[in-house]
Amino acid sequence: MSAQAAQQMGLRVIVLDSDPNCPGAQVTPFRVKMDWNSDIGAAELAQLASSITLENEWVSPSNLLLAKQLGSTVIPEPHTLSIIGDKFRQRTAFAERGLPSPRFCAISSWDDLYKAAENWGGKVVLKSRRGGYDGYGVKIVHLPINDKDLPLSEPDEWYAEEFVPFDRELAVIVGKNSSGETAIYPVVESRQTTDGHRCDVVIAPAPNVDTELTRLVQDICLSAVDAVEGIGLFGVELFSRNGEIIINEIAPRPHNSGHYTMDGCRTSQFEQHIRMVRNLPPGPTHLIAPVVVMANLLAPRHGQINLEKSVSDAYRICPNIHLHWYGKSVLREGRKMGHLNLLGDDLDDTLSLVLAARDAFWRGVP
Amino acid sequence: MSAQAAQQMGLRVIVLDSDPNCPGAQVTPFRVKMDWNSDIGAAELAQLASSITLENEWVSPSNLLLAKQLGSTVIPEPHTLSIIGDKFRQRTAFAERGLPSPRFCAISSWDDLYKAAENWGGKVVLKSRRGGYDGYGVKIVHLPINDKDLPLSEPDEWYAEEFVPFDRELAVIVGKNSSGETAIYPVVESRQTTDGHRCDVVIAPAPNVDTELTRLVQDICLSAVDAVEGIGLFGVELFSRNGEIIINEIAPRPHNSGHYTMDGCRTSQFEQHIRMVRNLPPGPTHLIAPVVVMANLLAPRHGQINLEKSVSDAYRICPNIHLHWYGKSVLREGRKMGHLNLLGDDLDDTLSLVLAARDAFWRGVP
């Protein structure tokens, strides 16, 4: 989706990926056929591209640094990726900025975990420092701790966070370009699947967030970008409990919680992403309807679907939806395959309509 | 732009064109490398694609018929292309429907032209039946007619129309799917370049068009689509003089006068185009701001530009613009290279801002 936004602005897009069926390779004829995280791939791309950006935060900072040394503008900066890529460093950066954070500590032996659990009420969140997402790499550990509750990997690959009960998750998309100009999107609510691990629905604006709280949350998010010395586009996730806010984490790229912007804001997060990468001024970020709801199309099972029928069924239930399908080649249970956006005037109506359309997408029209 | 809309909805897009640098070939890796108007190209495409549509109306109806016979859904229908491709037949179809039209007649010898000029006040518009666009294939002829005023080609390649003075040009985008569902966009004003031949700026909604006139114009446009037995997406152009309306012509594809919809309407004409081609229900067509202005980026000269600088200069003047660049490889004076959209509350402000941004695009920031 960033590639398409770049193309609309006249940029030629080259995708670094060895997979000819990856979503990016379906929207441009220009591809470097190497692993997206290989150093020779990064070097080859740097020969061809004046600007390099990424769609996931697991690209190795050293490969990005190599591309930068070879003369490409790389955004987000390798340095930012180093901070974000290690969740303990990310958490430390937020705390050093004074952002509202849970208590947390590094773990050099499992004894550190026991101590943290004792100090924090008997319950600790154990988080993988690297590579976690959508609930992977997160364990909740209770006292008394059994050895079988502990991961098999080394203690120092993890860190501990205080367990913070929360009512809901909020999120904000923030853009910042090299000139220091910023774009800040509305505060939205991100509702998770019942297993709690994947974004299911995003509601913009977040219900029951007044002007004062909006400003507070947006300030935290701008500071979070500064804390990681961020340039580019970022998705910031936060927890909220009775209006009290804690920062969760930051992603250095367009984010699932910002997909609603594609049809719901004056400037989509993808156009904004490209503007930030190219050091262009931010576009307007406001909503174009009182309510915008995004519903993820998470694959309900492995296997195939009849996409033509599914698309048609969804539109028949609600012609006002905008359907986005990412062109991933394989359905895998829980995988994000696409999303639906719907604009409306009333939250309940809009939410139930988009969910009905999603139901029709996967299960057909009754 | 239609290709990108199709991809967002999960469709794989194959472009039929021999030119590897054509805009379509820049946004998909799938291309049939043959002339877009060859029969073997059409046959090859029909083997690969379940649906076929077009981006210009000069594709031969017989090639489209061939693709249809080979099993592809072809929209617009070859039959519609036959009517539209011959402007005399198109004009006849409108007149038979009772749509407000200028007087017109076929020409089998130049004598017919003299007679028409005498009957219609000494002035006649001579129009090429095939292939004219943007002022090409249109001649205004006055009495007394000199032989050197006449085209070199045969008289029956032309037809004559009464000269109708008009204040301004209006336009409407209309969609219709195979199930008969229609989408109708706002009435817009299309302002031409000073030579009168190319669309320069489009203003949505058209100023000083009240509800009653809007309904009248939209009814004419829906009838015009019916007159050519149209399925797909159409741009309808009309002339207006003191509120009196005359239909000019219809294009069976997304139209320059509808580019404002990309950022200015709930559903862009390109998404609507794909919905119509796939027989999906129409999306909402209303404007998302009180005023939307589209300014074409017509090349001021032959040669090259520094696109990066031009884009940056335009955004610096007005960050709220949305810039679209088509990726055509060569600048040619007067060629449509892209466009700018700007949303606003006040027409004068919005128009002057977008023109300032356009000026900066071509000439730099003062």
Q: For residue A323, list chain B residues with Cβ-Cβ distance below 8 A.
A: 8-10
Alpha carbon distances (Å) from B227 to B68, B94, B169, B308:
22, 6, 21, 45
DSSP structure string for A76-102: S-HHHHHHHHSHHHHHHHHHHTT----
Residues forming a β-bridge with B183:
B175
Give the distance from residue B30's alpha carbon to the nearest chain A alpha carbon, in angstroms.
8
Q: For residue A284, list chain B residues with Cβ-Cβ distance below 8 A.
A: 319-320
Q: Token digits for A308? A: 């033509």
Average pLDDT for B276-297: 97
Angle at A151 between CA A148 and CA A156, to 5 degrees: 135
Alpha carbon distances (Å) from A181 to A307, B112, B215, B298, B342:
41, 66, 45, 30, 20
Which residue in chain A has the smallest CA separation from B316? A281
Q: Token digits for A109? A: 């032996």
Q: Is the pLDDT of residue B240 over 90?
A: yes
Q: For residue A343, list chain B residues with Cβ-Cβ distance below 8 A.
A: 266
Q: Do B9 and A284 touch (CB under 8 A)?
A: no
Measured distance CA(B339)–CA(B297) in Å, rounded: 5
What DSSP designation does A283 have? P
pTM above 0.90, yes or no: yes
Q: What pLDDT is stored for residue B200 in this prediction?
A: 97
Q: Is the pLDDT of residue B258 over 90?
A: yes
Q: Do B7 and A25 touch (CB under 8 A)?
A: no
Measure CB to CB from residue A10 to each of B1, B289, B327 and give the nearest one. Answer: B327
Q: Is the pLDDT of residue B121 over 80?
A: yes
pLDDT class of B304 with cuts at 50, 70, 90: confident
Average pLDDT for A282-294: 97
* Buried b / exposed e along A289-304 (16+ C-beta atoms within 10 A): bebbbbbbbbbeeeee
Measure CB to CB from residue A307 to each of B1, B10, B27 and give the nearest one. Answer: B10
Q: What pLDDT is stored for residue A233 in this prediction?
A: 98
Q: Which of A43-47, A78-82, B132-136 has the lowest mean pLDDT?
A: B132-136
Q: Residue A59 burial by CB count (10 A; 0-12/13-18/19+): exposed, middle or buried?
A: buried
Q: Return the closest-CA partner of residue B88 out of B59, B47, B36, B131.
A: B131
Q: Which of A35-39, B128-132, B219-223, B361-365 has the lowest mean pLDDT?
A: B128-132
Measure CB to CB from residue A7 to each of B10, B27, B263 and give the nearest one. Answer: B27
Q: Is the pLDDT of residue A355 over 80?
A: yes
Q: Is the pLDDT of residue A131 over 90?
A: no
Measure CB to CB from residue A288 to each of B288, B311, B312 and give the nearest one. Answer: B288
Q: For residue A324, list chain B residues with Cβ-Cβ distance below 8 A.
A: 8-9
Average pLDDT for B78-105: 97
Residue-wise pLDDT for A153-211, tens only, equals 888 999 999 998 999 999 999 999 999 999 999 999 999 998 878 999 999 999 999 99
Measure CB to CB from residue A319 to each of B9, B283, B316 and give the nearest one. Answer: B283
Average of per-residue pLDDT values in chain A: 94
Average pLDDT for B77-98: 97
User: What are the backbone dihedrals phi and psi of residue B21, each rounded to the nearest 5 degrees, phi first?
Assistant: -100, 5
Q: Residue B164 burial by CB count (10 A; 0-12/13-18/19+): exposed, middle or buried?
A: middle
Measured distance CA(B353)–CA(B349) in Å, rounded: 6
Q: Return the closest-CA partner of residue B166 out of B251, B102, B225.
A: B102
Residues B252/B59, Cβ–Cβ less than 8 Å: no
Residue type, A358: R
Strands, E assignment, chain A: 14-16, 30-32, 51-52, 73-74, 104-106, 123-128, 138-142, 158-162, 168-176, 182-184, 188-192, 199-204, 232-241, 244-251, 291-298, 322-325, 336-344
Average pLDDT for B278-293: 97
Nearest-10 crossing angle of helices A307-317, A347-363: 150
Q: What pLDDT is stored for residue B265 in this prediction?
A: 97
Q: Is the pLDDT of residue B295 over 90?
A: yes
Measured distance CA(A208)–CA(B17) in Å, rounded: 53
DSSP helix/strand/coil, A244: strand
Q: Is the pLDDT of residue A134 over 70?
A: no
Which residue in chain A has the smallest CA separation from B8? A324
Torsion of CA B161, B163, B167, B169, to 10 degrees: 20
Strands A291-298 and A199-204: antiparallel
Residues B293/B260, Cβ–Cβ less than 8 Å: yes
Q: Residue B106 burial by CB count (10 A; 0-12/13-18/19+): exposed, middle or buried?
A: middle
Q: Residue B11 burial by CB count (10 A; 0-12/13-18/19+): exposed, middle or buried?
A: buried
More confident residue, A325 or A143: A325
Average pLDDT for B34-57: 95
Q: Token digits for A210? A: 């007044």
Give the distance from residue A74's alpha carbon to the nearest chain B alpha carbon, in angstroms.
16
Q: Is the pLDDT of residue B134 over 80?
A: no
Indicate which of B1, B2, B4 best probes the interface with A, i.e. most A CBs within 10 Å of its own CB: B4
Average of per-residue pLDDT values in chain B: 94
Q: Is the pLDDT of residue A95 over 90?
A: yes
CB contacts < 8 A, A to B, total: 113
pLDDT class of A135 with cuts at 50, 70, 90: low
Angle at B245 between CA B243 and CA B248, to 5 degrees: 145
Q: Do B311 and A266 touch (CB under 8 A)?
A: no
Q: Do B4 and A9 touch (CB under 8 A)?
A: no
Write a three-state SS string for chain B.
CHHHHHHHCCCCCEEECCCCCCHHHHCCCEEECCCCCCHHHHHHHHHHCCEECCCCCCCCHHHHHHHHHCCCEECCCHHHHHHHHCHHHHHHHHHHCCCCCCCEEECCCHHHHHHHHHHCCCEEEEEECCCCCCCCCEEEEECCCCHHHCCCCCHHHEEEEECCCCCEEEEEEEEECCCCCEEECCCEEEEECCCCCCEEEEEECCCCCCHHHHHHHHHHHHHHHHHCCCCEEEEEEEEEECCEEEEEEEECCCCHHHCCHHHHECCCHHHHHHHHHCCCCCCCCCECCCEEEEEEEECCCCECCCHHHHHHHHHHHCCCCEEEECCCCCECCCCEEEEEEEEECCHHHHHHHHHHHHHHHHHCCC
pLDDT class of B49 with cuts at 50, 70, 90: very high
Measure CB to CB from residue B10 to each of A12, A338, A343 and give the nearest one. Answer: A338
Q: What pLDDT is stored for residue B150 in this prediction?
A: 85
Q: Do B312 and A280 touch (CB under 8 A)?
A: yes
Measured distance CA(A138)–CA(B162) in Å, rounded: 77
Task: Please identify which residue in the block is written with the tokens 């912007």.
Answer: A261
pLDDT class of B152 with cuts at 50, 70, 90: confident
Residues A234/A225, Cβ–Cβ less than 8 Å: yes
Q: For residue A315, list chain B residues with Cβ-Cβ distance below 8 A.
A: 275, 280-281
Give the distance from residue A112's alpha carbon to the nearest chain B alpha carbon, in angstroms.
48
Which residue numbers of A have CB closer than 8 Å to B's CBs? 1, 4, 7-10, 12, 20, 25-29, 31, 263, 266-267, 271, 275, 278-284, 288-289, 307-308, 311-312, 315-316, 319-320, 322-327, 338, 343
Indicate which of A1, A2, A9 best probes the interface with B, i.e. most B CBs within 10 Å of its own CB: A9
Measure CB to CB from residue A343 to each of B266, B319, B320 and give the nearest one. Answer: B266
Which residue in chain B has the smallest CA separation from A183? B319
Measure CB to CB from residue B280 to each of A7, A20, A315 and give the nearest one. Answer: A315
Measure CB to CB from residue B311 to each of A9, A311, A338 and give the nearest one. Answer: A9
pLDDT class of B68 with cuts at 50, 70, 90: very high
Give the distance from residue A5's alpha carbon to the nearest chain B alpha carbon, in angstroms.
9
Indicate which of A322, A324, A350, A362 best probes the interface with B, i.e. most B CBs within 10 Å of its own CB: A322
Rg (alpha carbons) of chain A, rounded to whole number: 21
Measured distance CA(A214)–CA(B91) in Å, rounded: 58
pLDDT class of B281 with cuts at 50, 70, 90: very high
Neighbours of A77 (CB within 10 A): 21
Alpha carbon distances (Å) from B236 to B36, B154, B228, B254:
24, 29, 12, 10
Q: For residue A1, list chain B residues with Cβ-Cβ distance below 8 A.
A: 8
Residues A301/A363, Cβ–Cβ less than 8 Å: no
